[in-house]
Amino acid sequence: MAPGDSNQLPPPLLAISGLTKRYGPSTVLDDVSFEIPPNKVIGLVGENGAGKSTLLNLISGMVRQDAGEMLLQGKKYEPVDYRAACQLGIGRAFQEQALILNVPVYENLVLGHEQRFLRAGIFVNRKAMIAAAERMIREAEIDVDVRRLTGDYDVSRRQAIEIVRACLVPLYLTGVDHPLVLLDEPTSALARDHEAAFFRLINRIRAIGAVLFVSHRLSEVLSVCDEIHVLKDGRLVATVAAAKSNESSLHSLMVGRERVSDYYHETRQVDTTKNAAFLEVRGLDRPGNYHDVSFDVRAGEIVGIGGLLGSGKSALGKGIVGLEAPLSGTVKLAGQLADRPEIRKLIQGGVAYVPPERLTEGLIADFRLSWNVSMASGHDLFSTRWGRWLTTKEEAVSTKYIEELSIKSGTVRITCDQLSGGNQQKVVLSRWLCRHPKLLVLDNPTRGIDVGAKEEIYRLLRTLTAGGMCVLLITDELLELIGLSNRIFIMQLGQVVAELPAPVDAKPSEHDVVALMLPSSKNLPEPSRN
């Protein structure tokens, strides 16, 4: 088009050119270039470790590139830190929640913008803060009291709060007309009833600015995005129109191979109907969380626990392993009674537990990989009876699991905060696998993990159950619940309301499972905090 043409397209909201980032000898981003036009949702996909979070860190001012440049609305963009990026209209929701749990919701929403609410330069106008926070919450259609402590809310509502902060703070607190919102795995912890409001909010931001959407849920990326960029090993390997792509083609671009047709390895599912029960749960009760729960898990079996957020399934997992002791009921392992379960005794009895939030519950991010692997076994596997630490053994075992689980780390001495989410999750698994447990309790083990890493974990679970290990799988992923489980127990408001067989040749449908998750009785206990 000729200069001055009234139909000339506006400049991209953000243009990045030749972005490169190195950490020592490792190049995590290599000459990446693309544009984010206004009024678009741009997808960014890739395996864990492909460079997605590093790219978001560069855009949001958290790290500086080694080469390349960025232009924000046609002007050179070099944010010195995260605060500077925010002031220029960049909002971000992090893969792992970045909220302060012991302060009210409104303080989290206005964090970093408190100077806008000062009177006479020194007095904080809390009423104005609350009013601004309430305006954002109303627009996002989230049922949250901004005066309550953030930690009072379940993980889904906290995720919704983080999304609100990323999407609406640039608009309302920085005065930027055309914000750019960076969303890193935004729906990984959202309940289904919050997802609809989230997608409406995305469309609101699309109308005035733009969104860079990172997710391992390829169906979401395809449905919400206009264009999708694919990263592999730090390089931009493809850019595709969402309308002309599908999950299979994206998976192939991401991992360099076609997605296997038997994604959940259902053909390897073990028939356990004649096996003895290893775990027996009877009458487990914790008021406000779950009530009178009873079931068995047989040797070699994967038993799935499904339910909506607030059903009590996560609390049940913690109760079974003794992290949050039930008020009453019993847990038996191989016939041995464990009255009022205690985590240390159960670990010694062969129980392992992988929590849903890896950074807050699963590992210590600034510890070495090897230290995280040995964390649950310092009392027996990695020390002598006289207390001498077996560092050589610790590093050898860690190296073994780096190889077996394909953890992309380079060394056992790397700190876990330098690993991608998927590799961090493999470290958490390694901690327990080195103990050769008999029961593995998994709570959302593939949250925030790419499709390739998920497949690796599914394959691992089939191998473990073929060797006799049993698995209690608590998950919000419906297809994962159906595809992996031998049997499925459905919880509503703290109670088990249904048991579904899920043999290889007769898996229940998504429709049937969801229908059982929806509360259908007014006589069930009050909703629990999950």
Q: Is residue 3 part of a domain?
A: no
pLDDT band at 451 (very low <50, low <70, confident <90, very high): confident
Q: Is residue 167 part of a domain?
A: yes
Looking at the structure, do residues 325 and 242 belong to the same domain, yes or no?
Answer: no
What percent of the chain clears pLDDT 70, i.e. is strictly above it?
Answer: 94
Q: Which two tokens stand for residue 300?
A: 């070699």
Give the tens place of pLDDT for each residue, 323-382: 888 999 999 998 777 666 777 788 888 999 999 888 888 899 999 999 999 998 988 899
Q: Is residue 231 part of a domain?
A: yes
Give the pLDDT score at 528.
Answer: 41
Q: Is residue 7 part of a domain?
A: no
Cα–Cα distance, 454 to 254 (Å, whole number)? 13
Q: Is residue 209 part of a domain?
A: yes
Give the tens place of pLDDT for each residue, 149-173: 998 888 888 888 999 999 998 888 8
- Structural domains counted in the chain: 3
Predicted confidence (pLDDT) at residue 530 exceeds the cutoff of 70: no
User: 415: which DSSP letter?
Assistant: B
What percent of the chain clears pLDDT 90, i.e. is strictly above it?
Answer: 55
Domain that holds residue 234: 14-255
Number of other residues whose CB lies within 10 A of the CB of residue 257: 10
Looking at the structure, do residues 432 and 442 belong to the same domain, yes or no?
Answer: no
Give the pLDDT score at 477.
Answer: 85
Give the tens place of pLDDT for each residue, 380-431: 899 988 889 999 999 999 999 999 888 888 789 999 988 887 889 899 999 9
User: 44: which DSSP letter?
Assistant: E
Looking at the structure, do residues 301 and 381 belong to the same domain, yes or no?
Answer: no
Mean pLDDT of 496-508: 94
Looking at the structure, do residues 146 and 22 belong to the same domain, yes or no?
Answer: yes
Q: Is residue 323 part of a domain?
A: yes
Q: Which of 401, 436, 471 is the last residue of a domain?
A: 436
Give the pLDDT score at 175.
Answer: 81
Looking at the structure, do residues 173 and 58 belong to the same domain, yes or no?
Answer: yes
Looking at the structure, do residues 136 and 53 belong to the same domain, yes or no?
Answer: yes
Number of other residues whose CB lies within 10 A of the CB of residue 478: 14
Cα–Cα distance, 264 to 462 (Å, whole number)? 9
Report strand pairing: 90-93 vs 180-184.
parallel
Q: Is residue 2 part of a domain?
A: no
Mean pLDDT of 145-150: 93
The residue ranking higher by pLDDT, 120 or 482, is 482
Predicted confidence (pLDDT) at residue 35 exceeds the cutoff of 90: yes
Looking at the structure, do residues 450 and 384 belong to the same domain, yes or no?
Answer: no
Mean pLDDT of 491-503: 93
Give the tens place of pLDDT for each residue, 430-446: 999 999 999 999 999 98
Q: Reduced to 3 states, what is the DSSP secondary structure of residue 318?
A: helix
Mean pLDDT of 46-68: 90
Q: Which of 436, 467, 491 is the last residue of a domain?
A: 436
Predicted confidence (pLDDT) at residue 66 exceeds the cutoff of 90: yes
Q: Is residue 1 part of a domain?
A: no
Q: Which of 436, 465, 483 is the last residue of a domain?
A: 436
Give the pLDDT score at 511.
Answer: 85
Instruction: Give DSSP secondary structure letters for 471-516.
Output: EEEE-S-HHHHHHH-SEEEEEETTEEEEEEE--TT-PPPHHHHHHH
Give the tens place of pLDDT for each residue, 285-302: 999 899 999 999 999 999
Give the pLDDT score at 520.
Answer: 55
Is residue 362 within 8 A of residue 375, CB to CB? The reply is: no
pLDDT band at 529 (very low <50, low <70, confident <90, very high): very low
Mean pLDDT of 471-484: 92
Q: Rounded to the nearest 5°, which phi and psi values hold at 406?
A: 55, 50
Looking at the structure, do residues 102 and 66 belong to the same domain, yes or no?
Answer: yes
Looking at the structure, do residues 372 and 457 belong to the same domain, yes or no?
Answer: no
Looking at the structure, do residues 413 and 483 belong to the same domain, yes or no?
Answer: no
- Nearest 5°: the CA angle 243, 249, 255 is 135
Give the CATH number for residue 477: 3.40.50.300
pLDDT band at 249 (very low <50, low <70, confident <90, very high): confident
pLDDT band at 526 (very low <50, low <70, confident <90, very high): very low
Across the chain, what does the average pLDDT equal? 88
Predicted confidence (pLDDT) at residue 448 exceeds the cutoff of 80: no
Cα–Cα distance, 202 to 198 (Å, whole number)? 6
Nearest CA to 329 out of 369, 276, 297, 287 is that of 287
Looking at the structure, do residues 91 and 109 belong to the same domain, yes or no?
Answer: yes
pLDDT band at 7 (very low <50, low <70, confident <90, very high): low
The one-letter amino acid at 312: G
Give the tens place of pLDDT for each residue, 101-115: 999 999 999 988 888
Give the pLDDT score at 216.
Answer: 81
Looking at the structure, do residues 373 and 233 belong to the same domain, yes or no?
Answer: no
pLDDT band at 185 (very low <50, low <70, confident <90, very high): confident
Out of 58-72, 271-285, 302-316, 339-353, which region has the weakest mean confidence (pLDDT)? 339-353
The set of residues, in sequence order, having a beta carbon less than 8 Å from that of 261 and lying 6+ positions away, is none
Nearest CA to 68 out of 30, 117, 105 is that of 30
